[in-house]
Each structure stands twice: as structure tokens, then as C-alpha cells.
Structure 1
Amino acid sequence: MKIGIIGSGNMGRSLGILWAEQGHEVFFGSRTTKKGKEVAEIAGQTTQGGSNDEAAAFGDVLLYTVRGVHPAEVFSSTSVIDNKILIDCNNQEISENFDYPAITQSLAEKLAAEVPNAKVVKAFNTMAQELFELAPIPLKNYNVSVFVAGDDESAKQTVIQLVQEIGFQAINCGELRHARLIESAGDLIRLLMIQQQMGSYATISVRSLPPAETQRLGGRQASNLK
């Protein structure tokens, strides 16, 4: 698979290297061709580097790590990402005292509105980039969940495959509007890391458990979740 990394900072470099190790073709993009080439040289694995425009043109799947910048300022023309799968891994800035307003439009939904011809998928926003140093082994042994949401089912399944290849457990969260909940989970993880000093390895693992064989706690009403 051809993967373009848009913005080759810590997150983009880490995921790009992991995917290259799995045999994918990876192109690191940056604001300048020089920076993109420098990242590719560090990454090795026959990766390439250049501008964000070049990375977007190269990849069928694009990891979008740029936060708070309209795509029109990232690319010479947003048409370069038409019909591309665009993975949004961003969280909002941390509010003072973690006093966030209610999310009525996620960053992923905002991005999708700005580039309506791209297939935006939310993923990789609920862990610190240091965690990728453990991928894919021993990370796979810990069942760390990556929540994935998107309106295009085929694009979402492609991202789920990329999640699983590097040792994470993919959790299909349905349509893109559910990215509001995923981004809130990212805020919770950062709270745990900062205020409770849990470090970079605070994660979420979603597990399915078998039902109890008996109801020893009294006449419990069955849940009617739908």
C-alpha cells in the first residue's frame, strides 16, 4: 500500500516507520522538501521524502498530522487529496484545567467539511506517540485499542487493517460523527497521563467478557442497549 505522511513530526515519523517495516511504501511529507527528505533518511526502509504535495500525490492513504491549519494552507491545492483516505489523528489543544467545552463538531468532522472529496477516518488519537516504540511486539500482547470512525466503510476497513498490522486492536466505532466521542477519550487519556502521572503508557483496552452464569446480585433488569 502507498502511504503518504502529511507532517512528519513525532507522530507521523513513528507511524510511517512502523508501516514501512510492514512492507508498505511510505512517503514522508513536510512543509519543505528538505525536511521531508531528512525524515526519510532517518527512517530508512527505502522510504521517500519531500513536500506535503508530493506525499499527498504519492499515497492512496494519507496520515494527516497537521492540527489547526486549514488544508488549503497545507497543500497548493486540496484537489491533490480528492478520493484519498485521510487519517485524522489529531486532538485539540489541552484546555486550562482540562475545562473543555462540549464537542459539537469533532476535528475529524471539521476536516471532512474542509475537504469533502476526501475519505476522512478518525484513528490513533488516544495514545502518546512514545507508545509506538513498543509496536508491533510487545505491544500486541497488551490489546491496546485504537478507535476508528468514518463514513466510508471501505476506507475504514483499510485503516483497521493498518491499525492491526502494527500491533493494535482496532475498534470500529461507526460513522464519523462518533469521532466526537473518540476525541473526548483522547482528552481523558491525556488527563490520566498528566494529572495522575501515569506517563506515556496510559492506554485504553476494550475487552468483551462472557455473561455471568448466574445472577447472584438479585433481580437485575436486562440492559436494553440498541
Structure 2
Amino acid sequence: MKIGIIGSGNMGRSLGILWAEQGHQVFFGSRDSEKGKAVAQKAGLGTQGGTNDEAAAFADVILWTARGVMPSELLSNKEVLNGKIIIDCNNQDIPEEFAYPAIVESLAEKLASDVPNARVVKAFNTMAQEVFELAPAPLKDYQVSVFVAGDDEQARSTVMQLATVIGFAPVDSGVLRNARLVEGLGDFIRMIMIGQQQGSYATISVNVLPKAEQQRLGGRQASALY
């Protein structure tokens, strides 16, 4: 699979290298062509590097790490993204005392509004970069969840496969509107992580439990709540 990385910071570099290790063709993009080439040279594994425009044109799947910057601002021609899968892994800036406003439109939804003919998927926003250093093993033993939300079912499936091959446990999180909840979860995890001792990284693993053999507590009663 051809994967373009828009932005060559921590997230882009880490995921790009992991996917290249699994045999995918990876192109690291940057505003500065020489920076993109430098990341590719350091990564090795047959990766390429250059401008964001070149990465967008190269790829079938794009990891968008430019937080809050839209394709119409960053690319010379955003139409190059038409039909392509765009993974948005971004979270909001951390406000003072973690006093986040309610998310009425997610970063992923804003991205999708800017490129309505692309297939935007929210994923990889709920863990620190240090977690990627454990991939794919021993990470796979910990069943760390990646929450995947997008309106296109095939695009969600592709992103879930990309999560699985590097040791994560993907969770199909439904339509792109649910990215509001996924981004809120990312904010919560960062709050917990920052409150822990240095070197400790919070994650979430969603486990499926067996049904109780007996309902000694009376079972679920009818309610307006789930």
C-alpha cells in the first residue's frame, strides 16, 4: 500500500517507519522538502521523502498530522486527495487546567469538510508516541485499542488493518461524527498520562467479557438509559 505522511513530526515519523517495516511504501512529506528527505534517509526501509504535495500525490492512504491546518491551506491542490483515505490522528491543543470546551465539531469533521471527496477516518489519537516504540511486539500482547471512526466502511476497514499489522487492537467506532467522542477520549488520556510519573503512558484496552451465567443481581431492568 502507498502511504503518504503529511508532517514529519513524532506521530508521522513513528507510524511511517512502522508501516514501512511491514512492507508498505511510505513517503514522508514536509513543508520543507529537505526535511522530508532527511526523515526518509534516517528511516531507511526504502522510504521516500519530499514535499507535502509530493506525499499527497504519491499515496493511496494519507496520515494527516498537521493539527488544525486544512488541505486547502497546506497543499497547492487539495483535489489530489479526492477518493483517498485520510487518517486524522490529531487532538486539540491542551488548554490551561484541561478546561476543554465541548466538542461540537471534531478536528476530523473539519478536515472532512475541507476535502468532501476524500474519505476521512479518525484513528491513532489516543496514545503517546512512546507507545509506538513498543510496536508491533510486545505491544500486541497488551491489546492496546485504536478507535477508528469514519463514514466510509471500506476506509475504516483499511485503517483497522493498518492498525492490526503494527500490533494494535482496532475498535470499529462507527461514523465520523463519533470522532467527537474519540477526540474527547484522547484528551482524557493525555490528562491521565500527564498526571502520572514521568515515563508512564496511559492507554486503553477494550475487552469483551463473557455473559454472567447467573443474574444474581436481578439483571438489567427496563430503562431509558442503555
Relative to the length of structure 1, the TM-score reads 0.96
The residue aligned with 2:60 is 60
Q: Quick one: percent identity of the two aligned structures?
A: 69
- CA apart distance, 1:211: 1.2
Change (3 A) 1:11 1:139: same
Residue 142 of structure 2 corresponds to residue 142 of structure 1: yes
Q: Offset of 1:97 from its aligned partner?
A: 0.6
d(CA) in 2 for partners of 1:117, 1:214: 50
Matches within 5 A, 1:182-221: 182-197=182-197, 199-217=199-217, 219-221=218-220
**CA distances 1:58-79 after superposition (whole Å, capped 9, x unpaired):** 0000000001222222111111
For residue 50 of structure 2, give the secondary structure of its aligned residue in structure 1.
Answer: strand
SS in 2 for 1:4: strand
Separation in 2, partners of 1:57, 1:200? 38
Task: Output one character per residue of 1:105-143: Cα deviation in whole Å (capped at 9) or x when no partner.
Answer: 000001000111111000000000111000000000000
**Per-residue deviation at 1:216?**
2.7
Change (3 A) 1:126 1:223: farther
Confirm or deny: 8 A CA contact 1:145 1:170 kept in the other structure: yes
Paired amino acid for 2:34: K
Per mean C-alpha deviation after superposition, the further-off stretch among 71-80 and 36-45 is 71-80
User: Displacement, 1:159?
Assistant: 0.5
Aligned equivalents of 2:130 and 2:213: distance in 1? 41
CA distance in structure 1 between the partners assigned to 2:143 and 2:132 by the alignment: 13
Query: What secondary structure, in the 3-state scheme, does the structure 2 residue paired with 1:171 have?
Result: strand
- Which stretch of structure 1 is more off in the superposition, 68-77 or 177-186? 68-77
- Alignment partner, residue 157 of structure 1: 157
Q: CA deviation at 1:19?
A: 0.3
| Residues 214/125 of structure 1: CA separation in 2 closer, same or farther (3 Å cut) | same
Structure 2 counterpart of 1:68, one-letter code: G
Instruction: Write the deviation string for residues 19-55 of structure 1: whole angstroms up to 9, x where unpaired.
Output: 0000000000000111110000010000000000000
Q: Which moved more, 1:135-144 or 1:72-81?
A: 72-81
1:116 & 1:202 partners in 2: Cα distance?
Answer: 34
- Could you say what secondary structure the match of 2:133 adopts? helix
Q: Does the CA-based 8 Å contact 1:7-1:66 persist in structure 2? A: yes
Regions of 4+ moved over 3 Å: 196-200, 222-226
State how far apart, in whole Å, the 2-side matches of 1:223 and 1:188 are. Answer: 31
Q: 1:200 to 1:108 in 2, by over 3 A?
A: farther
What is the 5 A alignment of 1:40-59?
40-59=40-59
Match status 1:181 vs 2:181: yes
Deviations 1:153-205 (A, max 9, x none): 11111101000000000000000000000000001100101123374521000
Partner of 2:17: 17
> Letter of the aligned partner of 1:157 in structure 2?
S
Deviation at 1:214, TM superposition (A): 1.4
Instruction: State how 1:51-90 maps to structure 2 within 5 Å.
Output: 51-90=51-90
Task: Give me the whole-angstrom Cα distance separating, in 2, the residues matched to 1:154 and 1:100.
Answer: 32
1:222 Cα deviation from its structure 2 partner = 4.5
| Residue 129, structure 1, aligned to residue 129, structure 2 | yes
2-structure distance, mates of 1:198, 1:145: 22
The total of aligned residue pairs comes to: 225
Counterpart code for 2:114: E
Which letter does structure 1 place at the counterpart of 2:43?
A
Normalised by the size of structure 2, how large is the TM-score? 0.96
Indicate conservation of the 8 Å contact 1:130/1:200, yes or no: no
